């Protein structure tokens, strides 16, 4: 019998991980990990050997200078966001949709989280007018909004917010006294860096912005959890950092020494790291563009991907065809596409989007090959889209969406 209620969907307890690179590990990272494997010392939270200096260098090269006493590290960005939320108190605002790991951290503390609509041209950054209206409504209802989390380079939408929009939203947030956490996990994966301007909120309003970067975005495998944060260079920023370190210590949120050594090596950005990052971004850009062309040609709505290893697709135009397969919401769409494509296709509800909306995030990493040899071929080939294994993966994707498109056209009423 068809379900008429979202029974069984429940609360999304295990959100999807960050879109992986799908590429073999670099030798330098393996060596750094192995060399630190015999160390059994306990380093202070946020101050793992070599990591503060490497973190400062990383931010400095991106126009965000920092001192070692203005940065911190934790085993994943989720730990940092949880600690910042706990330290600041109050209610939290996020764009809708947003990264799958943001909201669970806030709710784990028993805090209220309020989604804010994003503009048509991008995700990751709330519309400034919608933000002001949401803050007004929260306060009118007795709430206490204190924190806005945003991402200029966004997961899940793979868009980069225009600088003018970032200005408007940051100014609106500052006018309401909000602190901002800028999730910059994907800033180093912008596809067309010459044509896309990425402005960090910390460049605009350094005294009110904490920057968080999960190193699984640009550098490390997702199974090696490590993230870094940069706090404002003010007395309030120092106080916030101290409280965050207290929370991380209470949680036992230490980066394992071998992972910390690999993180420090990556953040120093030796040639091996920078060359791989450039090659990886170029490869995922080509594949993401091919995926975008494929789904759009089937009638799916999707913004052109501008960063990351993913894109966000809206299958609402194919609802009639999906209904014939008993697909009526995002969870059912996730199950349907995951089974047919043979790879994870998380539904939009996992990113705070409406369960009834037919939206999914498609990742490019699984398309690069099923073996290490195929993935290396994808990375090194001057024409990766012509490789047989990539062609097969894209053909399967195209076949699934084209079939839905054909079915949708048959379901259209005669004019």
Euclidean distance between CA atoms 75 and 221, whole angstroms:
12
Q: Is 299 helix (H, G, I), strand (E, B) or coil?
A: coil
What DSSP string describes 82-146? Answer: HHHHHHH-SEEEEEES--TTHHHHHHHTT--EEEEE--TT-SSS--HHHHHHHHHHHHHTT--EE
Residue 415 has pLDDT above 60, yes or no: no
| Residue pair 149/93 in contact by the 8 Å Cβ criterion | yes
**pLDDT at site 7:** 45
pLDDT given at position 48? 54
DSSP state for residue 310 in the 8-state scheme: E
CA distances from 93 to 262, 290, 325 (A): 33, 34, 36
Q: Where does the pLDDT of residue 47 fall: very low under 50, low under 70, confident under 90, or very high at 90 and above?
A: very low
Residue 229 DSSP SS3: strand
* 367, 291 contact by CB (below 8 A): yes
DSSP characters over 336-388: HHHHHHTS---BGGGGT--TTS-EEEEESGGGG-SSHHHHHHHHH-SSGGGSH
In this prediction, residue 2 carries a pLDDT of 33
What pLDDT, on a 0 to 100 scale, did the predictor assign at position 193?
Answer: 73
Residue of higher predicted confidence among 162 and 2: 162
Helix, strand, or coil (residue 13): coil
Q: Which residues contact residue 251 at a Cβ distance below 8 angstroms, ignoring those fewer than 6 apart?
A: 79, 82, 83
| pTM strictly above 0.85 | yes
CA–CA gap between residue 288 and residue 134 (Å, rounded): 34
Q: What pLDDT is attached to residue 18?
A: 87
Asked whether residue 15 carries a pLDDT value surpassing 80, the answer given is no
Over residues 183-194, the pLDDT tens digits come to 999 999 999 877
- As a whole number of Å, the CA-based R_g of the chain is 21
Whether the pLDDT of residue 282 is over 50: the answer is yes
pLDDT in tens, 363-375: 999 999 999 999 9
- Residue that has been written with the tokens 């003018």 in this structure: 164
Is the pLDDT score of 73 beyond 90?
A: yes
d(CA 45, CA 244): 10
Collect all residues with Cβ–Cβ distance below 8 Å to 137 and sequence separation of at least 6: none
What pLDDT sits at residue 221?
93
Q: Tell me the per-residue pLDDT of 110-158, one tens digit each, with 9 for 90 and over.
A: 999 999 999 999 999 999 999 999 999 999 999 999 999 999 999 999 9
Determine the pLDDT at residue 17: 82
pLDDT at residue number 191: 95
In whole angstroms, give the CA distance from residue 306 to residue 149. Answer: 20
CA distances from 283 to 121, 124, 186, 376, 385 (A): 25, 23, 15, 11, 9
Share of the chain above pLDDT 90, in %: 85
Q: What is the pLDDT of residue 49?
A: 66
In the predicted structure, residue 12 carries a pLDDT above the cut 60: no
């Amino acid at each position: 019998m068809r379900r008429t209620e979202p029974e069984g969907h429940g609360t999304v307890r295990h959100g999807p991980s960050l879109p992986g690179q799908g590429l073999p590990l670099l030798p330098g990272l393996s060596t750094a990990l192995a060399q630190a494997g015999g160390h059994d010392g306990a380093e202070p939270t946020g101050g793992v050997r070599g990591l503060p200096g490497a973190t400062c260098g990383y931010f400095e090269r991106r126009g965000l200078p920092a001192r070692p006493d203005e940065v911190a590290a934790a085993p994943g960005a989720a730990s940092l966001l949880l600690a910042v939320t706990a330290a600041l108190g109050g209610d939290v605002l996020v764009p809708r949709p947003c990264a799958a790991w943001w909201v669970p951290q806030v709710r784990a503390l028993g805090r209220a989280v309020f989604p804010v609509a994003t503009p048509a041209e991008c995700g990751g950054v709330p519309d400034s007018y919608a933000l002001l209206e949401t803050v007004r409504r929260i306060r009118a209802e007795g709430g206490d909004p204190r924190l806005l989390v945003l991402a200029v380079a966004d997961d899940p939408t793979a868009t980069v917010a225009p600088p003018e929009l970032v200005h408007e939203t940051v100014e609106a947030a500052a006018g309401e006294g909000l602190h901002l956490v800028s999730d910059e996990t994907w800033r180093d994966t912008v596809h067309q860096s010459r044509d896309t301007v990425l402005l960090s909120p910390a460049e605009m309003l350094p005294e009110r912005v904490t920057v968080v970067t999960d190193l699984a975005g640009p550098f490390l495998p997702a199974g090696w959890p490590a993230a870094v944060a940069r706090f404002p260079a003010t007395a309030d920023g120092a106080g916030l950092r101290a409280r965050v370190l207290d929370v991380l210590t209470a949680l036992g949120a230490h980066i394992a020494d071998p992972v910390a050594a690999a993180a420090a090596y990556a953040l120093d950005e030796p040639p091996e790291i920078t060359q791989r990052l450039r090659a990886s971004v170029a490869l995922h850009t080509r594949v993401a563009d091919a995926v975008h062309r494929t789904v759009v040609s089937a009638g799916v709505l999707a913004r052109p991907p501008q960063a990351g290893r993913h894109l966000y697709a809206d299958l609402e135009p194919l609802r009639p065809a999906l209904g014939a397969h008993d697909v009526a919401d995002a969870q059912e769409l996730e199950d349907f596409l995951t089974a047919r494509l043979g790879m994870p296709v998380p539904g939009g509800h996992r990113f705070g989007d409406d369960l009834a909306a037919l939206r999914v995030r498609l990742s490019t990493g699984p398309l690069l090959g099923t073996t290490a040899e195929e993935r290396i071929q994808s990375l090194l080939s001057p024409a990766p889209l012509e490789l047989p294994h990539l062609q097969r993966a894209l053909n399967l994707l195209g076949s699934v969406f084209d079939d839905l498109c054909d079915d949708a056209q048959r379901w259209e009423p005669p004019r």
